[in-house]
Structure 1
Amino acid sequence: MSSLLSHNKDQPCIAKSLSDSSPASSTAATKSLRHERLLRLSSSGSSDVSNDTSTNHAESYFLRRENRLSARKKAAEETANNDYKKMYEKAVATNQRLKSRLETSKQELAMIQDQLQRAQKGRPGDCGSNMLEAEKKVKAELKMENQRLKDENGALIRVITKLSK
């Protein structure tokens, strides 16, 4: 960019200050630089037609470039937002699915506990002990499954919370 601007005497100072500036202020500096060039050209009149033409070409090039960069930046932001939205929706759907499985497990556990209580009341002595052992194993398995589902549900809730922030 400084090679395009080196035809003026006071231009190297401006070009140096532009290159020394931070990336965040480069857009403002570029616009200021363009504005100064346009003022200089308009005040000098049409003394050099080729100089005016090259400045217009350079100016239009930089404007097109800025437009392309801003369009890419907007597209990248929209893609990122859509990705977060998709991940959030997927996490919510998984959370709902796990909640329904947890409820189903709770209902099964309640039915088995009810059956166990009825079996304990109706069975005397040793013949019920074999059945009681099997029911204890089923109950333990259901409790483990229930706990695992609760843990998964908690993890998904944490993920959803982080995504929504």
Structure 2
Amino acid sequence: MSSLLSHNKEQLRIRKTLSDTSPASSPASTKSLRHERLSRLGSTGSHDVSNNASTNHAESYFLRRENRLSARKKAEEETMNSDYKKMYEKALATNQRLKSRLETSKQELAMIQDQLQRAQNGSDCSSNVLEAEKKESWSLKKRISDMEEQLKVKADLKMENQRLKDENGALIRVITKLSK
């Protein structure tokens, strides 16, 4: 009777130990827990055949449970990693597109400023030509101010893009820590 009570207490302690361990524990620690559990079960004294069968059934149950949990966890990690990878690639593509647009705008701005400088230097012409140059100068200034506004917007987008990159990097680090 006392061996049956000690055996039941041992099984409860083993179950509690198994429930306290996280499913993300390493395979080496789960193997050592199984080995420890089997050695305890083997050292508790003589057991009858039905007790060994229930122990084997419990052992196979826990093994199947561990395999299911690890397979489910791997599937979730693969799904999350592919989602973050897609988001990261999309952010990179957007960043490249914005960089090319910014470079084009800078080139246009340089050309317009050059034209404006030439227009201001050539103000020795007749009054009609002077009037036309003033209109052109005014339109160029307006165009420059519009482009400067666009550059400000692009700079804001660039900062937002960088913030998203940083946030993405942080998420990737968190995922890698969680996957370990």
Give 1:15's match in structure 2, choosing from 12, 17, 40: 12
Partner of 1:114: 114
Q: Is the 8 Å Cα contact of residues 116 and 140 (structure 2) preserved in structure 1?
A: yes
Gaps spanning 5+ residues in structure 2: where? 171-180
Offset of residue 71 of structure 1: 1.4
TM-score, length-normalised on structure 1?
0.75
Q: Is the 8 Å Cα contact of residues 18 and 30 (structure 1) preserved in structure 2?
A: no
Aligned pairs (5 A) from 1:1-165:
8-10=4-6, 11-12=8-9, 15=12, 18-19=15-16, 23-24=20-21, 31=34, 32-40=36-44, 43-44=45-46, 48-123=48-123, 124=125, 127=131, 128-165=133-170
Could you list the structure 1 runs, at least 4 aligned residues long, displaced by more than 3 angstroms after superposition.
Answer: 16-35, 123-126
Tell me the amino acid that sits aligned with residue 81 of structure 1. Answer: N
**Higher relative CO (CA 8 A, sep ≥ 6), structure 1 or 2?**
2
Paired residue total: 155
The structure-2 alpha-carbon separation of the partners of 1:99 and 1:120, relative to structure 1 and needing over 3 Å to count, comes to: same
TM-score, length-normalised on structure 2?
0.70
Deviates more, 1:108-117 or 1:30-39: 30-39
Task: Report % sequence identity.
Answer: 48
Offset of residue 104 of structure 1: 0.5
Offset of residue 100 of structure 1: 0.4
Tell me the amino acid that sits aligned with residue 56 of structure 1. Answer: N
